[in-house]
Structure 1
């Protein structure tokens, strides 16, 4: 069932627009890290591994001090110890690096797996209007590109933060041990480095958001063009689609290059500040008051440690870029997770199906002002068939979508068995409803799997074949090499429109629910197929409360009651004969379309 609301009507503000989320980077990042809390053991092992690695780096500088002092003192008998020491240092560093890398990668992938599945599960629970304001391309980009950006923030950023951060701590600790005065001179450059990093971080987060939006635009453009390739080609839309995709890709390239410029400037500026600190360090180190009792080996080791610290510092500045990308990505994912799910406050189970009543019901799609349904008063008698007739946009599909509560928030009353529909749990209510709509949805599996879908997956092959026979699916399935086990392809691309619709009807027949909604269920069938399907539908509709939206006279004329709608209101209702005798809107429709067999 299609809604009458468009994406533009309720488009959410972009992240930079007024009203966008203003949570700080660290609030978002801490929330992201809560996903790592159950993995604290692997997290701690990673920390210990990188601590060992950082300790090994400091030992390397100490080893160099010992070598220089040994050579200067002509103590060559120490060569065995020094040779074995360097092997031990590299062994320790290697073990620490392996443990740290493996454990943090495990934590990262577990976090991403959990986050991705949480987002997908939330998408399955969101109300219908959420999908009208977010394109499928945007949602797919969140589950693919954005999640991978989060991977960097959780895995690469933490690995660099631990490994390089602990290396810096180890080297600084050793430098303080050698000469605290020289170390303080080196540390003096810290505030300037922090300022540069802070300015660059804000810009990188903003640019990362724009890149994610552009990826969503690219995915949306490609997805629509690929799915609608026949329309694109027959109506000569290739140039327009190429230009739309080119513009989306160009925007992505521009935003990415802006990010590259920021990253590329950030690193050399940090390196220049470190070089200034090293230059000041080397100049002042020659002063006797500063040099103090430092040995030649200690002086060389100090300069070596100061030089070794520049690489991890440079790596740490890259962490900001990775974190900003991940935070911007997690922001979009948390928006999905924070989106309110379908309201399911009902506690009662549907034990029987009685009359369904609409009492002075009105409905407006969220984010819009136009009232789609106005003062609708209608009763669907138990076991009877009610047909909705009216021009496109008259509110027929919207009215039908309220029964399974695909849309909530109506005013007035919608009652089942005399009780508010909201009193029943969604699962219990939807278990009583079967749906066949115009836009048939098939999944990439076999015909049998598509008929016995969801909770019907345990149905026997005999039951599946019986439903297929009733829906005249066997007429074309028997001609296929694999029969009922034939793969249908993505969205049933291997089948014709009529074949896909028959499978959807077989699915509804197999469910055997007491309420049946047919929204243009025979629109894709030729006249011969329709005749057979109509016979099958008459059988499955018998004894069920059925709501039919159709344009074919053959479907409508046999309904127990026909309801004519216009601009969200009911103009008239009654049987086919009563409405013809009334000489109103239905009679005019009938006269105009008698030759074609179709109503507007």
Structure 2
């Protein structure tokens, strides 16, 4: 540019000007290609980081123990995905800046120093100002980032909770009340976002001022040098033009600060989850499913949630292979907690549980849960076809004949055949088109198809009428090669099983078959007669 202004224009060198213009156009083409490559690499790097961070987070969540989910809201877990995106953005931008922006700053800095040392030293004088601005806002960004992310987590939790409970909200005619709660949380989130944005805008304004002030100072000092004939006008204009190629990547590097601080706060929140140990990490003895077959024994087992009182106290119990057992008791007596210990959702606070004399703590959890299947009180079906739901987690050698037989045993065959696409009927989230009883029977059929030799049904027939329930229980009782444990409030089931376990306030108060317990005229008899 200096030669252009000082020589070519004054001397009317048209042909040379055409060559220079062509050269500049070619240079700008390469510049555009460079910017395209930079943005493309940024996108590719962001996707690679997404695979590592977001999929790593999801995988870790699947491996966490049930205690984690019992103490966390869904929204708190989901909000970490937004946090992860901040980390990905910061890491991708940092890597690109380290490889490209730093290189450009060094190269252009050398060019500017060659052009004029005096002006370059003035240019370097802006760096302490940038550094001062960065340091001045560090604590504010950290504090406001944390508040914003926490507020977003609370808001996400409430929205998810209300969508999941929309039926109850409408039944209670409480739409306005729930909306007001979310409205308040949303306003709080917006307020905290605005606080962060105000600080960010203020910092950007100060950076812009330093940048513009630098341009003015360079032109001012440079003009004085031109008037003193220390440099030519062309050299000044060339320096000023090249200055943008130095300050723009420098700004990119400096602007990493708020991104890196957001990423740091987000990383701390993600680490709250990542630092929770997965339940499959510990090395266990290598056993086969057949080695677990046999007697299941509870010995002096007690359990409490956190630091509360014991939910179960001094449980001593033996469950024989292929036995049919019913566990009964009042609500809150510890029935569900007892069977969840069997699938190792929770670990006993004291005492031990053994499968064929193998300690449950030494058994690989994948193996354990392929041997014993728990069907929860609230049935859950996933979005997808009925067939996909039935075959979820089943044994590898299952056939269509096995599926049809399992559905017959679960008394769900007729219901499926009445649907438009039968087994290929697509269900939405949690099977909205199904009744509670139909969902229960699909989950029972799914359990029958599993490789499990021990089946636990936690109030899994509560949504059925008495006649359907009786036929279904008859079908389950016919599975002679399975150990079956029922948790039931309807004591009609207890009459049909080999053994009845009676719980009260976390303790076993009675045990025996139905008739024996009735003859004792104790706690069980009072439950039957009430």
TM-score range, shorter chain: over 0.9
Contact 2:101 / 2:250 at 8 angstroms: preserved in 1? yes
SS of residue paired to 1:454: coil
Q: 1:213 aligns with which of 147, 150, 157?
A: 150
2:289 paired with 1:361? no
Tell me which moved more, 370-379 or 257-266.
370-379
2:464 paired with 1:525? yes
- State the shift of 1:460 in Å: 2.1
SS of residue paired to 1:342: coil
Q: Which residue of 1 aligns with 2:54?
A: 116
2:116 paired with 1:179? yes
After superposition, the Cα gap between the structure-2 partners of 1:457 and 1:325, relative to the gap in structure 1 and judged at 3 Å, is farther
- State the shift of 1:422 in Å: 1.8
Q: 2:256 aligns with which of 319, 329, 334?
A: 319
After superposition, the Cα gap between the structure-2 partners of 1:333 and 1:66, relative to the gap in structure 1 and judged at 3 Å, is farther
- State the shift of 1:73 in Å: 5.4
In 1: Cα distance, 2:85 partner to 2:241 partner: 37
Tell me which moved more, 321-330 or 423-432.
321-330
**What is the CA deviation profile of residues 57-81 of structure 1, one whole-angstrom value per residue up to 9, with x for unaligned ones?**
xxxxxxx223212236526152133
Q: Which residue of 1 aligns with 2:193?
A: 256
2:449 paired with 1:507? no
In 2: Cα distance, 1:545 partner to 1:458 partner: 21
- State the shift of 1:101 in Å: 1.8
Output aligned runs, 1:559-570, within 5 Å.
559-570=497-508
Q: Which residue of 2 aligns with 1:304?
A: 241
Q: 2:429 aligns with which of 467, 478, 490?
A: 490
After superposition, the Cα gap between the structure-2 partners of 1:513 and 1:402, relative to the gap in structure 1 and judged at 3 Å, is same
Q: 1:295 aligns with which of 232, 236, 251?
A: 232
SS of residue paired to 1:499: helix
Q: 1:406 aligns with which of 325, 340, 345?
A: 345
- Size of the aligned set, in residue pairs, is 526
Q: Which residue of 1 aligns with 2:496?
A: 558
Q: Which residue of 1 aligns with 2:327?
A: 388
Q: Which residue of 1 aligns with 2:212?
A: 275
Tell me which moved more, 320-329 or 186-195.
320-329
In 1: Cα distance, 2:271 partner to 2:6 partner: 57
SS of residue paired to 2:430: helix
Output aligned runs, 1:199-210, within 5 Å.
199-210=136-147
**What is the CA deviation profile of residues 77-133 of structure 1, one whole-angstrom value per residue up to 9, with x for unaligned ones?**
521331122022112212222222212211111111222111111111100010011
Contact 1:182 / 1:290 at 8 angstroms: preserved in 2? no
In 1: Cα distance, 2:229 partner to 2:415 partner: 95
Q: Structure 2: which 5+ residue stretches go unaligned?
A: none
SS of residue paired to 1:453: coil
Q: TM-score, normalised by structure 1?
A: 0.82
**What is the CA deviation profile of residues 438-471 of structure 1, one whole-angstrom value per residue up to 9, with x for unaligned ones?**
1111111111111111244763222111111111
Q: 2:37 aligns with which of 99, 111, 120?
A: 99
In 1: Cα distance, 2:290 partner to 2:232 partner: 90
Q: 2:27 aligns with which of 89, 101, 104?
A: 89
SS of residue paired to 1:553: coil
Tell me which moved more, 105-114 or 159-168.
159-168
Q: 2:360 aligns with which of 416, 421, 425?
A: 421
Contact 1:153 / 1:327 at 8 angstroms: preserved in 2? no
Q: Which residue of 1 aligns with 2:6?
A: 69
After superposition, the Cα gap between the structure-2 partners of 1:458 and 1:320, relative to the gap in structure 1 and judged at 3 Å, is farther
Q: 1:339 aligns with which of 273, 276, 282?
A: 276
In 2: Cα distance, 1:334 partner to 1:442 partner: 31
Q: 1:229 aligns with which of 148, 162, 166?
A: 166
